[in-house]
Amino acid sequence: MTDKVYTPAVRPIRIAVLLACLALTAAACSGAEDAVTTTSTITTLPPVATTVAATTAPTTTSTTSSTTTTIGPQNPSPLSGLEVETPELLERRPIAVKIDNHPNARPQSGLHEADLVYELLVEGGLTRFIAVFHHSDSAYLGPIRSLRPTDSTLVTYLNAPLQISGGQDWIQSLARGRGLLMIGDDRISTFRVGSRRSPHNLYGTTEKMRETADRRGWDNEPPDPIFTFGEPTIALTAAATVTLDWSKQPEVIWRFDPITETYLRSIRDVPHDSLSIDGERNQIAADTLLVLIAGKYTARPSSGKGTPVPALETFGEGQALLFYDGAVLKGTWQRDSYDDPFELALPTGVDMVVPPGKMWISVFPSTGSVDWE
């Protein structure tokens, strides 16, 4: 596995340059590639890591040089690159939870507390989420739903047990063969919510899920950093609004809020909220959006017993779109096996550096369309 590194972030510099560049950009262009709409041009500048200043005394021939280095997080999260206030929480396994995204499952709970969220396609053009908790936890998380073939390809390399509400036998067998550890509806880590109708009423707590993993004697090792976090190459292509058309369902729209410096999620023009245990609703937000374009196929049981389901191919290579600070970088992802992290690269071939922040990763079918402006 390739080690990931942290390069210091200098956010104020990036924002200042970005705003200046955006003032010169009238609109984003769109083009087609593998049925996915993308912008046509990308201009990049080298990452900003350090600033060097030289001071020369006017009355002498000696010169004194000083170097100012921006120091990154001392205890960075391997899933977000952000500073973690309690370093002890980094010395444990993550917990992943499969979350429903049927219209009757909204608003979901606990998504705003996750360190990382995956979104992936299931049947009927619907999507579901995998919320990953490492140094974070949630006492009210759900609705929890069943396993799909793509899930194990996104969780195994994190060393994260996956909480599910069941799944077809052949899919669970496939996941076990890939090394996935699964926690079912054991009524210890999960509970039913009376205000919701089945099957959208199973919720859980990550604390109990961790206890279940401990009782089963599962490995408690933390994951390696999943990306190279730091100051990214400056993106000059505006992307204040990002629209993902997953097919057959209303489009997902992320709009960049310059006040909070986050992308806010909507289903078309309806804000997509997360509901806290106290009943407070807040629109789902992410600091960074990563769209990984993947081939779609139909996964079938080898024995012929069971129902085929849509799946996404998450090893090999594909297009990657990184959205942050109201702009976009275009690159590629590459992966040799399900045990490896995704390797991101710019068109020049150098590593794509990801800015620290809560990330939403959409594993997006190449048959869909992504637009931004």
Higher confidence at residue 309 or residue 48?
309
Q: 50-69: per-residue pLDDT in tens?
A: 333 333 334 444 444 444 45
Supply φ then ψ for residue 344, to 5 degrees.
Answer: -105, 140
Q: Is 11-46+231-372's fold the same as 93-215's?
A: yes
- Domain ranges within the chain, ordered by starting residue: 11-46+231-372, 93-215
Q: Which CATH class is domain 11-46+231-372?
A: alpha beta
Q: 127-168: per-residue pLDDT in tens?
A: 999 999 999 999 999 999 999 999 999 999 999 999 999 999
Would you say residue 71 has pLDDT above 80?
Answer: no
Q: 283-301: per-residue pLDDT in tens?
A: 999 999 999 999 999 999 9
pLDDT at 186: 82
The mean pLDDT value for 221-250 works out to: 93
Would you say residue 91 has pLDDT above 70?
Answer: yes
Would you say residue 8 has pLDDT above 60?
Answer: no
Q: Answer whether CATH 3.50.90.10 is correct for domain 93-215.
A: yes
The mean pLDDT value for 341-366 works out to: 96
Confidence of residue 30 (pLDDT cuts 50, 70, 90): very low
